[in-house]
Amino acid sequence: QDEIRRPAEFAPKFVAALPGAAFRWVEECGHSPHLEQPDALAAAVRAFLDSGPDAVAGDDDVSEIVRLANRGALEKLADGVKELDAFLDTPILDPNERGGPLEPLKAFVRSEPETAQVAASVLALTFFFVLARGLVAVLG
């Protein structure tokens, strides 16, 4: 019943990050088992410390939640990769597109691509340098 860290999203991450740990569902409990079910938590910790993970009572089957979460995560990852690819494939300035207010700049890029690339790099470095100096002045 955790409303802060949804079990479907976070249980698989905990299971993967802590392979030697014992996982048990705590019924009628939200995000803070030490406050909501202190006796159940204390008993589980004591059993784990005394006899190991197999001694902790309760339901430890997280296979279904891991399967569902992994399927959802893979679908989200695939969608995110597609969106990122589309974004990265969109040119900021397409020199082959004629006209518009940036036509002189586009003509320069078409005629001198190497020089235009160096100029863009210098401009980007200058921008980030000025930005960093501004942040240092404001923050520090």
111 against 55, higher pLDDT: 111
pLDDT band, very low/low/confident/very high, at 60 (cuts 50, 70, 90): low
By CB atoms closer than 10 A (0-12, 13-18, 19+), residue 115 is exposed
Predicted structure pTM score = 0.39
Ranking 17-31, 50-64, 102-116 by mean pLDDT, the lowest is 50-64
Q: Note the pLDDT of residue 89.
A: 78
User: Average pLDDT of 128-139?
Assistant: 94
pLDDT at 136 over 90: yes
Average pLDDT, the chain: 80
